[in-house]
Amino acid sequence: MAQILVVDDEVGIRELLSEILSDEGHQVMVAESAGDARRLRERARPDLVLLDIWMPDTDGITLLKEWAASGQLTMPVVMMSGHGTIETAVEATRIGALDFLEKPIALQRLLNTVKRALRNPETAAAPQLALAALGRSTALADAKKRLAQLAQSAAPLMLRGERGMRPELFARLLVAPGAPFLASAELLAEAPSELLGKAAGGVLFVADLSRLGRPEQRNLEFLLPRAEKQKVRLVSFSPVDVRSLAEKHDFDVELGTRLAELTLRLPALREFAEDVPDLASLMLAQLVEARVCPPRRLAIAALNALRHYPWPGNLAELESVVKDLAFTSLEEEIQLEDVERAFAARAAPGALPEVAFDRPYREAREAFERVYFEHLLAREHGSMSRVAERSGLERTHLYRKLKALGLPVGRREES
């Protein structure tokens, strides 16, 4: 039968629900607080949670939001309250709760709700990485606001940015709830008319224009004037501008210009470093929830190290490091030493940055300085005092230099 977690601060209710559900053949875990529920949830994924709203440490709505934001809301949750309101029930449902039970709970109502919740397939899948709940940094928050504005237009949109940025995550923010989202360059090999039918009312996303051959470009050219009639939004990504697409990647200039009718630059991961801890936790939760690795969580020191790393490979590199940590760490809690080991394994000892001889002196100098300070920040885990000491710069000058280079400022105090 099912594994059910009962979360309630009243011992009588915990015992009563546990007895009833055990008699029905279920395995029951109990938690008397949100803190206990968090710890149990980190170690296992129950088939159902019965969650009280009013608890002394953290209320059930807040805990529900935490699970939703961290990717742990992958099981049905039924809220319970002795003095709930319609507004509270609506908010809980909006966040992701399946149902609401009012105390005192009638036996038959309880059993019927449990049966229905256990049949519900909607929350069975492992969580997908999404940017909707993120935005601690100004750079990511601004990008999301601009995408929200651009979602009101039907014109083709080209996203620009560095490789490894997972641009489909940004493109998904343009999709209305329930609307289709098709993302793959391989889709352009299909019959264009059928592709428009599948994407009708939603977004057709082309992941990397620089990798498209002439046949795919011709299909894209066929789709472009017909997309608006089918209410399909064409969104594409390119790591280079239209001129470079044409000169270096054999891309049709006219097609590129039409695809770039609207253009938005995506921030590199180092520009929204404040969101790296949340992103890493979500990525780790995906792996744990999919049950492809043992239960894992990131220690605060480990999260700080991830936050201060420069991430030249962007989100793709972060995903790779998180997967490495999930599979190779020896303990349930991933420590700073594990992160340092993962970084060291990816480092190229003695490798020097490529010298940009074809650039003007100022650009070449800035390129070197950026690589130099990225290296120091990663090596010293963001400690500004140690970076200042190693670089020989006064602290105020160092802050100004990092800001001018667009690099994240590390920790102001020693840990």
How many separate domains does the chain show? 3
Q: Is 55 helix (H, G, I), strand (E, B) or coil?
A: coil
For residues 298-332, one letter each, b for 16 or more C-beta atoms within 10 angstroms of the residue's C-beta and e for the rest, the string is bbeebbbbbbbbbbebbbebbbebbbbbbeebeee
Same domain, 238 and 318: no
pLDDT confidence of residue 415: 39
Percent helix, strand and coil across the chain, each to the nearest 5 = 50, 10, 35
Q: Domain with 33 in it: what CATH number?
A: 3.40.50.2300
Domain region containing 73: 3-119
Same domain, yes or no: 249 and 291: no
Angle 407-413-415 from CA coordinates, rounded to 5° = 105
Q: Which DSSP state fits 208?
A: -
Domain identity same for 210 and 311: no
Q: Are residues 287 and 252 in the same domain?
A: no
Tell me what pLDDT residue 354 has: 58
Q: Determine the residue type at 374.
A: E
Burial class (CB within 10 angstroms; exposed 0-12, middle 13-18, buried 19+) of 214: exposed
Please name which of 392, 389, 385 lies closest in space to residue 411, comparing C-alpha atoms: 385
Please list the residues that pair with 48 across neighbouring strands: 4
Q: Judge if 211 and 292 occupy the same domain.
A: no
Indicate the SS3 state at residue 383.
strand
Residues 50 and 84 in one domain: yes
Q: Which of 291, 322, 346 is the last residue of a domain?
A: 346
Query: Are 254 and 144 in a shared domain?
Result: yes
Q: What is the pLDDT of residue 413?
A: 47
Whether 215 and 237 share a structural domain:
yes
Decide which of 292, 311, 346 is a domain's last residue.
346
CATH code, domain carrying 215: 3.40.50.300
Q: What is the CATH number of the domain that holds 285?
A: 1.10.8.60
Which of 324, 346, 368 is the last residue before a domain boundary? 346
The answer on 149 and 260 residing in a single domain is: yes
The verdict on 261 and 186 lying in the same domain is yes
Q: How confident is the prediction along the chain (415 residues), in pLDDT tens digits per residue?
A: 799 999 999 999 999 999 999 999 999 999 999 999 998 998 888 999 999 998 988 899 999 988 887 778 888 999 998 876 777 878 888 888 889 998 989 999 999 999 999 986 554 455 578 888 788 999 999 999 999 999 999 999 999 999 999 999 999 999 988 889 988 655 676 666 778 888 889 999 998 999 898 888 988 898 898 888 889 999 999 999 999 999 999 999 999 999 999 999 999 999 999 999 999 998 998 888 777 888 889 999 999 999 999 999 999 999 999 999 999 999 999 999 999 999 988 875 555 555 566 678 887 888 888 888 888 887 776 778 888 888 888 888 888 888 888 787 765 544 3
Any idea which residue has 């650009």 for tokens? 363
| CA–centroid distance for 117 within its chain | 27
Give the largest Cα separation in the chain, rounded: 78
Q: Which among 261, 262, 265, 244 is positioned nearest to 253, based on CA atoms?
A: 244
Q: Same domain, yes or no, for 151 and 251?
A: yes
